[in-house]
Amino acid sequence: MKQILITISISLLSGFGGALFYHEYFANTEQEEFKFANNTIQNQPLPTPLTNISSDDFTDENSRELNLADFAEASAVSTQSVVYIVTYVKDRYSNRRTWSDLFFGRPTQKNPQGIAAGSGSGVIFSKDGYIVTNNHVVKGADKIEVNYNKRTYEAKLIGIDPSTDIALLKIEKDNLPAIQIASSKAVRVGDWVLAVGNPFNLTSTVTAGIVSAKGRKIGIMNDVFPIESFIQTDAAINPGNSGGALVNLHGDLVGINTAILSKTGSYAGYGFAVPSDIVAKVVNDLKKYGEVQKAFLGVSIKAVNEKIAEKLNMKEINGVVITKIEGGAAEKNKLEVGDVILSIDNFSIETEAAYDEQLSYYVPGDKISIEILREGKKIEKNVVLTNIDGTTNVNEKKIYDAKEIGAKFTAISKIERSKLNLETGIRIEEVERNGLISEMGLKQGMILVSINRYPLDDPKDFAKILSKIRGRVIIEIMKKDRSHRYYSYYF
């Protein structure tokens, strides 16, 4: 019992220290950078433990006020639902397959395991084997393993959402202890939370802290339509915590741990989690449609600041101002540049992050009520949200399965191509571990623009053109950072 109190005491002191240090450190730090909290498989130094702290540092009055037993109970409940994830990549220089192997079935020796590439955490979302983690934990993996209760399971990647950095896995196991999910909207700044994960390859580690802020936008998502509205916490989050659970004192999920602000890549007092409400929407969409349904108003926005408020003669500095009309619902409902969006369905919109988060809960075809400020007058409008193409249709991902080369491809919408400044392109949706695409080093999420100068516009094109080429093949690729690269191969 004494040991438990000592451990909890350390976590509480850490939380208090981080909260008091927050403003001075965050406001004056210029050399920090945001990092995803996943782990590379290698020997890493463990953090130096705190010393000279005992349960006597907390009075009985403080212990009763904080109800320390809740920490132990929340830890016991939540750790049962957190798993350890290891990813593998194929050794590109051994057992290489040829074009003839793939098309004419010549036997080749396979390397089923590959090289351990990284690790992270995951959360059991449902008892039938669905597990949530971060996209960056499993991105580019040829094989994914889930370690739970001293057993190892190979996981299937069900879907990803780069805009929120969430990925959904599935293992063949029933009656798992799924985590209870709380609404992240109920989380308050100052609430106590626990971060549960596998930092430094140590399994089932729990740290405590408080919610330092909500609705943080930190610019870490490398996506065309990023959704960033993080819960910020000072609970210690370290490499390997990515994809782990942020829970309340009931042990209920309020977020998925994703990123940290650090010079070194280790804990520095600032961790960020994707809110559980966003996670739940992403999971439901991936299970039902295979992709996340994104609803659009059809505007570009900017948070109102003092300068904008003065220009628009606003008495209060709040809301987001429309800077561009991009068609869709905004154009149909006669919204204008300069309109200030104050609320969506009575939910106050103070920042760009709040706007993005609120829209993320809807699907195309949903009708919403927005309150705008135009020339000093408040106006309420009812609008029907659209998809990326400007229609109210729900998009079910159309996937072309090119089995002969071991990959699946999807088309890219005209609007997304416009955002990316692309005239053509198809996206690699899935890569088979022992297929030709994997052997070529091409990764899930890459956009293939052309092959030997032939533009790629239809998901069926790549395999069709590739099958006719002998000799040198040059593939133009757009990577996730939007840079273009040319890959050269010989067949």
What are the catalytic residues? 136, 165, 242
Distance CA 126, CA 155 (A): 14
CA distances from 295 to 333, 364, 460 (A): 16, 5, 28
Long-range contacts of 94-99 (CB under 8 A, 24+ apart): 96/439, 97/434, 97/436, 97/439, 98/491, 99/436, 99/491
- Tokens in use for 9? 């005491």
276 contacts 253 by C-beta, under 8 angstroms: yes
Q: Which of 213, 233, 235 is nearest to 12 (CA)?
A: 235
Distance CA 403, CA 435 (A): 8
Angle at the Cα of 277 (from 274 to 280), degrees rounded to 5?
A: 95
**248: phi then psi, degrees, rounded to nearest 5:** -85, -175
Relative to beta strand 33-36, strand 253-262 is: antiparallel
Q: Which of 439, 444, 489 is nearest to 90 (CA)?
A: 439
**308: phi then psi, degrees, rounded to nearest 5:** -65, -40
Distance CA 441, CA 437 (A): 7
Angle at the Cα of 167 (from 164 to 114), degrees rounded to 5?
A: 130
Quick one: CA torsion of 116, 121, 124, 129, rounded to 10 degrees?
-10
Q: What is the DSSP string of 250-317?
A: TS-EEEEEEEEEESSSS-SS-EEEEEHHHHHHHHHHHHHHSS----B-SEEEEE--HHHHHHTT-SS-
Report helix, strand or coil for 415: helix
- Tokens in use for 249? 């004192």
355 contacts 341 by C-beta, under 8 angstroms: yes
Place of tokens 């809740």: 70
Distance CA 156, CA 172 (A): 9
Q: Which of 436, 417, 435, 438 is nearest to 427 (CA)?
A: 417
Question: What single letter denotes the amino acid at residue 66?
Answer: L
- Tokens in use for 261? 């602000």
- Tell me 339's DSSP state: -
Alpha carbons within 13 angstroms on the beta-carbon side of residue 321 total 20
Who contacts 53 (Cβ-Cβ below 8 Å, separation ≥6)?
Answer: 6, 9, 10, 13
